[in-house]
Chain A
């Protein structure tokens, strides 16, 4: 009887140790997974590309009036976009995005200085980390009753938030 009580105690200690090990494993696994940053730049780029598309094109027809306004007001004002990062990670918050809308020989872009800095990095597919996400769109719309190719380029940098 005395021996049996000792066995039960030993088993209880064993169970407690196992319980602690399993809990540590679960907590570690979950915290490792959720502590890594979630990269939403592609979704962000796609949303910006959609906004840009709907800004310049309505029901498949190119709105030239918006392009005329771009020259005087800039792309952000014309399309109602805010291209400033307010997370505090970057000194120049408005340099984390580059957007470009091209139809025929007309180009509307957000900031050419940013393009020269970021666009080269988009081509470095082999680098695989710490480079911007680039979203390209190509499609046709009607301009003066003729089909014209539209090219949209959106670059989202923000590597400090998404660096591994």
Chain B
């Protein structure tokens, strides 16, 4: 009787192990078929309309457009005024423009980053994040557009 108990216990262990292996295998197969349905490079499901907004290239072109913008026909482009120090984040005249873009469904924020070396050393300025584009105007100044 004592021997039989041992045999029953061992057999039960193997049966449970077999069932566990079969369950794991079926879960793996089911998960494979489930995940494969939405296979896409960009992580979207099939057929969903994509509205990209601006894309990195579009945001980059918009930043360049802002920097090349002249308030008056004979005036210097904004980038020259930023480099010379005439404009800073407070005085730059892009506020109304950004509001106008916002009304057209294009929501962006324009930044001028100054004292880059000091700010980088203190950790205030990080790397450019997704949806942002930056261009260095001088060693100490950078323009950034966040959309």
Which residues of A are at the interface with B, using a C-beta cutoff of 8 A? 14, 18, 21-22, 24-26, 28-30, 32-40, 42-43, 45-46, 49-50, 53-54, 57, 59-61, 122-123, 125, 127-142, 145, 147, 149-150, 152, 162, 164
Contact = CB atoms under 8 A, between A and B. Distances in A.
A9 to B, nearest CB: 15
Interface stretch (B25-33, B83-91, B115-123, B124-132): B25-33
B73 to A, nearest CB: 7
Contacts of A37: 39
Interface residues of B, number: 52
A128 B48 contact: yes
B53 A138 contact: yes
A36 B37 contact: yes
B24 to A, nearest CB: 8
A138 B105 contact: yes
Contact of B68 (A42, A50, A59, A132): A59
Contacts of B68: 59-61, 142
A57 B61 contact: yes
Q: Chain A's interface: helix, strand, loop or mixed, by majority?
A: mixed
Nearest to A45: B50
Contacts of A128: 45-48
B65 A61 contact: yes
B54 A139 contact: yes
B52 A135 contact: yes
Interface centre among B22, B50, B64 (most CB of A within 10 A): B50
A134 B50 contact: yes
Nearest to A34: B36
Contacts of A137: 52-55, 58
A67 to B, nearest CB: 16
B50 A14 contact: no
Contacts of A43: 41-42
Contact of B40 (A42, A123, A138): A42
Nearest to A42: B42
Interface string B1-41: 00000000000001000100110111011011101110111
B69 interface: yes
Contacts of B57: 49-50, 53-54
A139 B62 contact: yes
A52 to B, nearest CB: 9
A24 to B, nearest CB: 8
Given A133-B50, A147-B69, 6 more contacts: A18-B21, A33-B39, A53-B57, A53-B61, A139-B61, A142-B68
A28 B62 CA distance: 49
